[in-house]
Amino acid sequence: MSLLSKVKFELIKKLYPYKLKKTAASYKGRVYVGSPSFITSNTHLGNNVCFNGMKIFGNGKVVIGDNFHSGGGCQIITSFHNYEGDAIPYDDTYIDKDVIIGNNVWLGNNVIILGGVQIGEGAIIQAGSVVCKSIPDCAIAGGHPAVPFKYRDKEHYEKMKEGNKFH
């Protein structure tokens, strides 16, 4: 790794967490940023949030739980053009929808989450998925739209939680 790359990485690790905490509506604690990330002032961050290139857009409220991890290139979009308004294909108004993400959620690379959904505690979203419907607790979901195709071993999951085994 070149000296310039090392300096850039160190700046990202220091500058972006500060910037995100300053922008967020609230945060509980540690925020790690491994790649440039952007949030809105309607974003609420839990403790031990890890962004590796997250971009949050729109006016809807976004709540992210504790021990959240995202891969690179992820997006959360909470505002949508109004296609039933006064013009075609859409007018100049927006429809805002909130996103709620539970504790211990992991998003793979390039996941897109659309407003109006909840992602349950312990869920994993497969890389490249588009989440436009809510995902239950401990589900492993993927696709377009993302749908659960498997579930975590609940007993193992609870044991890890009880032992404070958080990454």
Under DSSP, is residue 118 helix (H, G, I), strand (E, B) or coil? strand
Exposure of 10 by Cβ count < 10 A (0-12 exposed, 13-18 middle, 19+ buried)?
A: exposed
Please say if 81 is a catalytic residue: yes
Cα dihedral sign, 78-76-25-157 = positive
Q: Which two tokens stand for residue 79?
A: 């505002």
Residues 109 and 106: their CA atoms lie apart, in Å, by 10
Q: Which residues pair with 131 in a beta bridge?
A: 113
**Which of 44, 69, 81, 156 does the annotation list as catalytic?**
81
Q: Which residues are marked as active site?
A: 81
